[in-house]
Amino acid sequence: MKLKGSITVFLSLTLSALLLMVLTFNALCVGNAEKMRFEISSDAAFNSVLGEYSIYLKDRFDLLYIDSSYLAGTPGTDRVENRLLHYMKRNSEEALSMPDSPWGSIRIDECRIDDFETATGGDGLNMASQAVRFVYDSPHTMGLQEEAFEAMANAPLASAMDGEDPLGEISSYMEALLGMELPKKKNKKGIWEEVPLSNPADWVYGLMGSDVLYLSGITDIDISAAVVDLSSLISHRGAANTGAGKAGYEYSENAYIAYLADKFGCYGNEMEETPLKCSLEYIVAGEGSDYENFKEVVNRIFTWRLADNLRLAFSDGRLKSEARAAALLIEVCTLNPAFIEPVANTIIAACAFLETISDLKEILSDGRIPLVKSSHNMSVANILGGNIYHASSDEGLNYRQYVEIMIINMDLTDKIMRTMDLMELETRLNTGNGEFCMDWCMEEINARINGSGSGIAEYRINRKYGYF
């Protein structure tokens, strides 16, 4: 006789098996939920860290980087790891410990950055690549790109001129005269004495020892007096974290030059927020003051212009005839015709020198002068009349383009590192972060995160995140 309500052994075993299955499925669901939350928390943590980019670099230079100093203290991977760990815990440990939170638990054991790319990766090509991409995406830089293209077309000519010594050439004409014996004639007392040369170009040769800025009409008040200490800047202290650079970076010379023209100033187009107002000149010269950098650039423009004007002057038949005619008016040349050609050469060279001063005045007053001219304003009358002239022009290159040519002809690494010098100077000044370093600004991080869940579950994940 069976008792009502009795439970058979078979039913008991069946219920136990079902309960075990439910518990197993529950454990698997909890484990999978923990694993999913771990992965989602990792993605959220990486995105949060990337979201803490340097606002100053973004707003001022349109560059995306994690400043691993976080505006204070010594930069390093440990600071970024701590931020990553913070966000991981907030989205996992702390979230699961709150009331009414889902089942399961996660403990974060380690957040470690194994590899990373900084602005200095590839000797600075990482930063240059971001700069180039900004130019490609910015319609307002089209004019600057066209300006840079023109500078690039002239860069090989300028490089050839750098190997010339036009001042030495001019001096050689005068030295040739000094090596000649002056003719003699009897004076009123019947004594033989040398006839003075009385070269009409002597006053121009006297100017050649003067400062080029003075000859150009530039005074100290026209130039920024800014002076900075360069010792702590990246090109002087040596860059860390250079590495091979990111795969697939892109670099374009004209786009990079356009970027520099958009972000930095030069003489006549200074930017107020920059410690060095002649910023483009700093990239060329690398000195610690605006005056030194500007002067070096102007001296180099002077050399280019003088080399071109000498070429023009000695290829001009009319100018040669005028110079010979002026030489024939000198008594020495009348007494000794061997002096005619050397004196004429000094007069022609003096014409080229005066033309160069005129060119510099035009360039420095926001005018334009071609790197290689097809016409000129030279005249022997200016030598005879003692005239220093200034002829205007609306064709050719402006001052900034002359500076851009110098930057184009620089070593690639040097120009990029000096660009980052300027970025460090400005960021330190305007954020108060005295330890800001471009070589610790991260744009890509490869990290591993280890954690554990309820029971014996362990979770490991590797992620590479960055500004792609």
pLDDT, tens digit, 9 for 90 and up, residues 413-436: 999 999 999 999 999 999 999 999
The answer to whether residue 261 is domain-embedded is no
- Average pLDDT on 210-229 reads 93
- What's residue 381's pLDDT? 95
The answer to whether residue 416 is domain-embedded is yes
Clarify whether residues 295 and 398 are in a common domain: yes
- The mean pLDDT value of the chain amounts to 90
Digit-coded pLDDT (tens) for 235-248:
999 998 887 777 77
- Average pLDDT on 240-265 reads 88
For residue 91, give both structure tokens: 């989205």
- What's residue 303's pLDDT? 96
The beta-strand segments (E) located in 2-124 are 66-67, 106-118
* Higher pLDDT, residue 186 or 217: 217
Cα gap 2→60, rounded to integer Å: 89
- What's residue 6's pLDDT? 58
The boundaries of the domain holding residue 391 are 158-235+274-431
Clarify whether residues 218 and 319 are in a common domain: yes
Task: Kindly indicate the confidence band of residue 28, based on its pLDDT and cuts at 50, 70 and 90.
Answer: low
Task: Kindly indicate the confidence band of residue 40, based on its pLDDT and cuts at 50, 70 and 90.
Answer: confident
Task: Kindly indicate the confidence band of residue 291, based on its pLDDT and cuts at 50, 70 and 90.
Answer: very high
Residue 27, H or E segment? helix 9-51
The answer to whether residue 16 is domain-embedded is no
Contact 380, 323 (CB under 8 A): yes
Of 127, 162, 338, 153, the residue nearest 254 (C-alpha): 153
- What's residue 27's pLDDT? 55
Clarify whether residues 93 and 195 are in a common domain: no
Cα gap 65→75, rounded to integer Å: 13
Clarify whether residues 213 and 338 are in a common domain: yes
- Average pLDDT on 58-80 reads 93
Give the bridge partners for 285, in sequence order.
none
The answer to whether residue 13 is domain-embedded is no
* Higher pLDDT, residue 377 or 73: 377
Clarify whether residues 448 and 314 are in a common domain: no
Return all residues near 364 (Cβ < 8 A) that are at least 6 apart: 216, 217, 218, 267, 268, 298, 399
Cα gap 411→361, rounded to integer Å: 29
Cα gap 148→151, rounded to integer Å: 5
Clarify whether residues 455 and 403 are in a common domain: no
- What's residue 398's pLDDT? 96
The answer to whether residue 287 is domain-embedded is yes
Judged by DSSP in three states, 158 sits in helix
Cα gap 295→280, rounded to integer Å: 13
Clarify whether residues 90 and 194 are in a common domain: no
pLDDT at 21 over 80: no
Clarify whether residues 290 and 179 are in a common domain: yes
- Average pLDDT on 62-76 reads 92
- Average pLDDT on 324-349 reads 94
- Average pLDDT on 377-397 reads 93
The answer to whether residue 255 is domain-embedded is no
Clarify whether residues 55 and 170 are in a common domain: no
Tell me the whole-structure pTM to 2 decimals: 0.89
- What's residue 31's pLDDT? 56
Cα gap 117→243, rounded to integer Å: 8
Give the range among 18-27, 58-67, 382-391 with minimum mean pLDDT.
18-27
Q: CA gyration radius for the chain?
A: 37
Give the range among 259-263, 413-417, 450-454 with minimum mean pLDDT.
450-454
pLDDT at 222 over 60: yes
Residue with token string 């040349």: 333
The answer to whether residue 60 is domain-embedded is yes
Clarify whether residues 303 and 370 are in a common domain: yes
- What's residue 25's pLDDT? 60
The answer to whether residue 105 is domain-embedded is yes
Clarify whether residues 228 and 326 are in a common domain: yes
pLDDT at 1 over 70: no
Digit-coded pLDDT (tens) for 142-185:
999 999 999 999 999 999 999 899 999 999 999 999 889 988 88
pLDDT at 249 over 80: no
Q: How many domains does the chain have?
A: 2
Digit-coded pLDDT (tens) for 349-386:
999 999 999 999 999 999 999 999 999 999 999 999 99
pLDDT at 466 over 80: yes
Digit-coded pLDDT (tens) for 89-148:
887 776 666 666 565 567 888 899 999 999 999 999 999 999 999 999 999 999 999 999
Percent of the chain with pLDDT over 90: 70
Clarify whether residues 420 and 442 are in a common domain: no
